[in-house]
Structure 1
Amino acid sequence: MVIRPVTRLFALRPAALLVCAAVMVSTMSGCRRDDSLKIGYLGTLSGRHSDLGVAGRDGTIFAVEEINRAGGINGKRLKLVVRDDEGKAESAQTAVRELIAAGVTAIVGPMTSSMAVVTVPIVNNSRVIMVSPTVSTGELSGRDDNFLRIYPTNAQKIRQLAEYARKSLGLSRLAVVYDLSNRSYTDDWRQAFTRQFESLGGTVAPAVSFDASGQTDYLSVARTLLAKKPQGVLILAGGVDSAMFCQQIRKLDTAMALFATEWSSTPELLVHGGSAVEGIVYCQNFIRDDDSTPYVTFCRSFDARFGQIPDFGAVYAYQAVRVIGKAFASARTAGDLKGAILGIGTFPGLQGEFTIDRFGDADRKPFLMTVRQGAFRRVEVP
């Protein structure tokens, strides 16, 4: 009789069917075509300059989620891959290679000029484009390559800040301190600002450098700066370092005029600087107190999602994703994103339209900002 074996066979059949079903689902999933559009994000998410990188990441996430809630792009969802460049050249290069290997078509980022300079050659050897929200160094201007940006170069801001210090405030001698860890940005600012200020009849003392990737004796640097007998100090550094320099300079001279750049204009400057950063002046393109409907709506939604008002890094990263999204919608192929962006040329921003020229460089009008009563305020120049 063979009843017993047959009985055992039928007893095992439900389990066997489950296994077969699982294998079939797994096989079908593996064969299912992934119709998502993959983009990457590259920013400094750890270390002293992480405030800008984290803001950019959150702005990117917000934009991706918004686009996907609206049905994606031509029915396809965006998929985001995030990488931390750690503010280090080697880490940034590794991260870009990983993003390319992961199959991204576009990279949002990086957020600092030094990371852009070391990674652009890598994307130029691929079909991937890089759209930076905040990189402004002139070193990458006027090039027909795979690097594009929605933030303008430093030139206009440098000219406006130099004219304000020399003509409006009547200062004739300035000192400069700059961070070597983001040299592509700070050196560009230092050299161009010196030329501009001196062309107006002023004098800029030999600059003092420091490296934010190591230990910094802020008080010692402040003493060196003030030993040059300046009427004002230009600080070319991130938010935390700028705040620390302001603290030490104010201990030595409470009346010293202080200047900075948009790189430092993050909440970290206010948190770490306190009253020492009151009156600091810098030039940028982001209007914090803008009351336009697109910007106000974005701020409310961002606050509901992340529990905080967006910083300029988040605002510009969001717009970078929207630029990529618009290009995806109009490009004939995913490999034609650059051509689509350059072909569109003018884009709706949260604070007005902006343009991207044939070299991928953006144009926006800058203005002066200051810190007054613990908040960022616009400077009204007669």
Structure 2
Amino acid sequence: MAAALNACRVATCLALALLAGCMPAAPVRIGLLADFSGRNARFNVDGRNGALLAAERLNAGGGIGGRPVELLVRDSGATPATEAAAVRALRDAGVALVIGPFSSPVAARMLPLFDAAGVLLLCPTSTDAALRERDDQLLLLNRSTRASASDYAGMLHARGHRRLALATDMRNASNNGGWRDAFVQAFTALGGHIVADTEFGVAADPTAYAAVRTLLAAGPDGLVFVANGVDAARLAQQAAKLHAKLPMVAPDWAEDRSLLEAGGSAVEGLVLASAARLDDEGAAYRGFHQAYVARFGTEPNYRSIAAYDAMTVVARALAQARPGESARNAVLRQGPYQGLQQSIAFDRFGDAARQAYFRVVQGGRFEPLP
């Protein structure tokens, strides 16, 4: 009788083992959070596409540690209420971490929610210096506004500019205003002068036309539009209407198809920096570019590349995480990580620094600045 029972137990254990071996491995759930319904929806779609392509390629190669990647994409909406609901939905889904958002103001609003939930937030494109050097659940892949502004000041001074006029969109006061302040400090330290400094974008501020008139009245030798692609294009159009023939620049985050589409010929010659080299002939980038165009029917941009790199960081960190190790500690313990075009190294706060390359709009395209 005992022998029969033992035989039964052995058979049962073998059956369960075989069943477990046939069952698919539980997926690694990674969240992606972005605003697909606000004024920056199009920018976020580019980022989503980069992350989605990375997830698909990871799965084609066996996933992460043999487990398939499940990318849970959630629309954060354009209000604090919808943002909070999206965070709760991802937390309740048991995600390992979240990639996004692609906007510094949204990241600042969401961060307390992620800190409270203990869920890591990996932001591919944020540059706001106010979010850096903090022990929290936010990791930043992009360079800071300070680093960006300093690069611009050096470039413009080296190209002979001494009298610049600035127009700053204050709807994103922390990021744009922070960049403006850092730029003014760096440019004046080099001996340059800011001859006009105006703000727009909120109810009491001047229109784009009035702002550009103020800039031109000061007699600058260059115009700096501290705004995203659409608003930089609006300012460039007003400058064209006023027959201004001055060099123009806009910060990193203005690099987008919307700048070209909304600005047309008015943005020809405008200079900006990009954390991506879209003319890169390296094998890694060319393979990504080919796959991206085939998958989405459009060209990638720096948001697409940054989100793809974020997934690269995630895949390596989670695959080599120690038992019981938090996602944040796993990411920071390892590295540097090799992205599509450059290495990604985090400091102890989880802040990375990416090299940027200056580009100029020529013939309706972003070309390397000579």
Give the TM-score band, short-chain normalised: 0.7 to 0.9
The residue type paired with residue 135 of structure 1 is S
SS of the residue 1:63 aligns to = helix
Shift of 1:190: 0.8
Where does structure 2 lack aligned partners over 5 or more consecutive residues? 1-22
Equivalent residue number for residue 50 of structure 2: 59
Q: 1:329 aligns with which of 293, 297, 319?
A: 319
For residues 160-200 of structure 1, the C-alpha deviation after alignment (integer angstroms, 9 at most, x for no partner) is 211222232x2222222222232221111011001111111
TM-score by length of 1: 0.85
Give me the whole-angstrom Cα distance separating, in 1, the residues matched to 2:215 and 2:254.
19
What letter matches 1:326 in structure 2? R
SS at match of 2:358: strand
Pick aligned residue for 2:88 from 79, 90, 97: 97
1:178 maps to 168
Q: C-alpha displacement at 1:309, in angstroms?
A: 1.6
Contact 1:88 1:115 in 2 (8 A): no
Q: Which runs of 5+ in 1 are unaligned?
A: 1-31
Aligned partner of 2:246: which letter? M
SS at match of 1:80: strand
| CA shift in 2, pair 1:92/1:182, >3 Å | farther
SS in 2 for 1:356: coil
Moved more, 120-129 or 32-41: 32-41
Bigger Rg over Cα: 1
- TM-aligned CA deviation for residue 156 of structure 1: 2.5
Following TM superposition, by how much is the alpha carbon of 1:93 offset from its aligned partner in structure 2, in angstroms? 3.5
Please say if residues 342 and 354 of structure 2, whose CA atoms lie closer than 8 Å, have aligned partners that are also in contact.
no
1:348 Cα deviation after fit: 0.9
**Is the alpha carbon distance of 1:33 and 1:215 closer, same or farther for their aligned partners in structure 2, counting shifts above 3 Å?**
farther
Counterpart of 1:77 in structure 2 is 68
- For residues 129 and 212 of structure 1, what CA distance do their matches in structure 2 show? 33
Match of 1:358 in 2: 348
Q: Which amino acid aligns with 1:160?
A: D
The residue number in structure 1 matching 2:137 is: 146
8 Å Cα contact 2:125-2:142 kept in structure 1: yes
- Name which of 227, 235, 245 aligns with 1:245: 235
CA distance in 1 between counterparts of 2:80 and 2:183 reads: 26
Maintained 8 Å contact 1:282/1:368: yes
Q: Secondary structure at the match of 1:351?
A: coil
* Inter-partner Cα distance in structure 2 for 1:206 and 1:105: 48
TM-score (norm 2): 0.88
Confirm whether residue 115 of structure 1 aligns to residue 142 of structure 2: no
Query: Identity rate of aligned residues, in percent?
Result: 34
Q: Distance in 1 between matches of 2:176 and 2:361?
A: 21
Structure 1 pair 211/162, CA: closer, same or farther in 2 (3 Å)?
A: same
Instruction: Name which of 151, 154, 157 aligns with 2:148.
Output: 157
Determine whether 1:344 maps to 2:334.
yes
2:221 is the alignment partner of 1:218: no
One-letter amino acid matched to 2:336: T
Counterpart-to-counterpart distance in 2, 1:149 and 1:341:
12
Aligned-pair Cα RMSD in Å: 2.4
Query: Do the aligned partners of 1:345 and 1:356 also contact (CA within 8 Å) in 2?
Result: yes
